[in-house]
Amino acid sequence: MRAKILTHVRCHLGDAKIAVETGVDGLDVVIGTSSHLREHSHGKDMEYIKNTAIEVIEFVKSKGKEIRFSSEDSFRSDLVDLLSLYAAVDKVGVDRVGIADTVGCASPRQVYDLVRTLRGVVSCDIETHFHNDSGCAIANAFCALEAGATHVDTSVLGIGERNGITPLGGLMARMIVADRDYVLSRYNIKKLKEVEDLVADLVEVNVPFNNYITGFCAFTHKAGIHAKAILNNPSTYEIIDPKDFGMSRYVHFASRLTGWNAIKSRAEQLDIKMSDAQYKECTAKIKAIADVRKIALDDTDSIIRTYYHNLHSEQEKPLLPGLTPEEAKKFAEVEKGLGGLKEQRELETAANAGAA
């Protein structure tokens, strides 16, 4: 495995000694620096924190291990304290410093400003860690990279304390929009769904229906005007190509919101050819039935086939067998309103034929 294994420990020499003995590649050392954590968690002042950090870093480096030192609750810490601390650990050779939005309070602008400032203070790498309590974890991570950060902590499906941290899939989505060539050259993103499904299964949760990239709604199009545009040119309503992630798009046409272009596309997939006026009338009937009861893909296919059959047969079949008496009554009422629509379609057909 090419990945490194690092362990997360308190900034405490005893913890560091135990961690080194486990055979890990490196240590992620952390200590709270905000007044909230200094007062109510470990009770240490900034001078103690700096001296302990230097002691731990020097020990870990002497063992040939990689080390990252991070403050905790960075965005509620005093800026002067932070920069002084980071400068001190950079001076003794820390591989990476970290900033952490432990309570998820930071905004993208705050993140950019802090990372940009820190970039001018230290020469080592900069790692970032963002919680999603206020919904900014992905935006904050991307702004951190723009400002000069070299590392972003992510987790699969964003799983973590409380609302979690920056989700791997969400960050990949943001990054591929910014620089598709770079992402495709660096990451095997077609594995994302496999990894997310594996983790979801292991921790016994469902992948959210609206999850970035892999949720079943991510590349689903339902509204008529969306479907028409997507069928003509997917980039009209998709900024990400699902094929890049090994995903597929789905034009959902089994609903009352469907449009005739989507029905036409589906009919052609079923090898059924009709005039545009007939596609429109068929669509109106599908929408009418969907108003009466929930319909599935198979139902829609059946309606299309039956409608086409009825166009060419003297014996008319019901569009969707199995309607309850109440559903059949409601559909009949709606269908009455389609009478004028049918006449309009016939006029359109005649006009189109005359123009041809």
Q: Which residues are catalytic?
A: 226
Q: Helix crossing, 339-355 with 276-292: angle to 10°?
A: 160
Cα gap 98→86, rounded to integer Å: 9
Going by their DSSP bridges, the two strands 26-32 and 6-10 should be labelled as: parallel
3-state secondary structure at position 24: coil
Cα gap 293→331, rounded to integer Å: 9
Q: How far is CA 299 from CA 193, 255, 277, 287, 304, in A?
A: 29, 10, 21, 12, 9
* Non-local CB neighbours of 202 within 8 Å, separated by 6+ positions: none
**Number of residues that make up the chain:** 356
| Residue whose structure tokens are 């909230």 | 36
Opening angle at CA 241, ends 236 and 245, nearest 5: 160
